Structure 1
């Protein structure tokens, strides 16, 4: 079958490991289902896979793609939930020490067919296109959990999103505005800040800018480059929710500020199947839809991955079949 995959790990030149070609048809274990993929979105995790981060060398070749949307053999339209836990685990699957994501142990969604546990094929709302639905399982689910499960924010409070144009950041802007938050955003360029404003940000700022006032919560996916600004931007008792560190680990935790102002630092990883169901329902009821920065045929996956590698994003990059 057609697939886009990492042939081997390449830490220094990840795109050199990328192959657009053919892979064997997947086997379907008991309790799993084949999904005919219609659309799949690009995530930073795909670049990590190409570099060999979070995946054992013997797992290659590995088909890329953490999330997507498609059709079951009976015609049911579904969204892929990419967190695959131990079948015997009870509770939040993101806390399962044996959990994995698609592209870590199991082949991913950049292919004609992906095979997942039956519970990981979530019914797609009719009001969402396959392209829109393909954004939900990773970036949008991560943002939903950060905002509605981890932050403790209430409508009317002020949130700061560090970074204006990535998949998680644009989702946070749209979800926060729809939920009644005052949404502030930082962005490296005027173009990226304008995008955030079009998506609903009330105000935008250059990175590191002193804000008009401190905020109730900061949403971090950048790490080292923005961490100090995030800590300085919080009100006493405020919260920073972090789900990534694309610029590397922070050089200082700023512990004195942390304890003296009684700040909270909350880690957040992906989301649960139930949270994905709630997210899909929220989008259907509110009319919120993901910002699609680029829609490309799957055989142009290298172009989409290169744009992500170079930071040239304006929302989600989606590959379609």
Structure 2
């Protein structure tokens, strides 16, 4: 089968280790199911894998990709949940210390087919295309958990999203708007800020700008560059939810502000299968849809990953076999 895989890793030039070519068809072990993929989407996780982060040399070659949607042998249309928990684990999969993501220990979704634990399959709503559904299991599920599980945001509250344009940021805007939240975003790029407004944000502000009022929650993935602004933006008792730190992970803690205003600082990683089911139901009912930046053939995976590496995308880059 055709697949995009890491043949080698290079911390400085991740695309140097990428190969697009033939790989063996997956063989489903007991309790697993093979899915013929109709669409898959790219994530920065794929680039980190190509740099060797979380993917040691003894696991190569490894088919990349966490996100996918397709059909099982009996014709069931499914979305693949990318978090693979230990078979003995029960409860929230994201808390399993033995958990892994597809493309870390097991081949991923940038292929014509993938084998996954049967419990990782969720029915695809008829209202969503395969391309839309393939955008959801990482970025959109991460956004869903940040907003509704960790921040416990409710209609009428104001949420600030630090940075506009990426897959998680776009999902936060669209999901927040669909759920009746007032969503503000920051951006260093006015065009991206305006596009975020087009997705449902009420307003956008230049990065670091003074806001007209304090917010109930901040969605933080930038880290060091925006951390001080995130804490200062919160009302007393507010929450900052952190899913990443692309600008660095060692900002000043400002613990005085944290304890005096009783701020909540919450980490968030991916999401559970149950949360993915709720996310799919929300999209089917609300009409909210992922922002698809580009759709490319699987054979052009290198071009899609290069676009992601350069930061040119707004929304998700999707590959179709």
TM-score with structure 2 length normalisation?
0.98
Deviation per CA, 1:74-106, whole angstroms, max 9, x where unpaired? 111110000000111111011011110001100
Asked whether the equivalents of residues 11 and 51 of structure 1 are also in contact (C-alpha less than 8 Å), the reply is: yes
Residue 244 (structure 1) shift? 1.1
1:95 counterpart residue number = 95
In the TM superposition, residue 245 of structure 1 has moved relative to its aligned partner by 1.2
Partner of 2:246: 246
Distance 1:250 1:230 in 2: 14
Cα distance in 1 for partners of 2:48, 2:32 equals 26
Confirm or deny: 8 A CA contact 1:177 1:200 kept in the other structure: yes
Partner of 1:270: 270
- The Cα shift of 1:213 comes to 1.0
The CA distance in 2 between the partners of 1:6 and 1:297, in whole Å, is 18
For 1:181 and 1:30, the matched residues in 2 are separated by 43
Q: CA deviation at 1:188?
A: 1.8
Residue 46 of structure 2 is matched in structure 1 by 46
Distance 1:249 1:41 in 2: 26
For the residues of structure 2 that align with 1:231 and 1:304, how far apart are their CA atoms? 35
In structure 2, runs of 5+ residues without a counterpart are none
Is residue 2:210 matched to residue 1:210? Answer: yes
Secondary structure at the residue paired with 2:87?
coil
The answer on whether the counterparts of 2:223 and 2:251 sit within 8 Å (CA) in structure 1 is no
The 5-angstrom pairing of residues 1-321 of structure 1 reads 1-321=1-321
The answer on whether the counterparts of 1:18 and 1:50 sit within 8 Å (CA) in structure 2 is: yes
* Structure 1 unmatched runs, 5+: none
Q: Distance in 1 between matches of 2:45 and 2:69?
A: 18
Deviation per residue, 1:252-311 (Å, 9 max, x gap): 122121112111100011010011011101100111111111111111111111111111
For normalisation by structure 1, the TM-score amounts to 0.98
Contact 1:227–1:250 (8 Å) recurs in 2: no
Contact 2:85 2:93 (C-alpha < 8 Å) held by counterparts: yes
Contact in 2 for aligned 1:9/1:49 (Cα 8 Å): yes
CA drift at 1:250: 3.0
Take 1:158 and 1:95, find their aligned partners in 2: how far apart are those partners?
A: 28
Alignment partner of 1:127: what SS? coil
Contact 1:225 1:250 in 2 (8 A): no
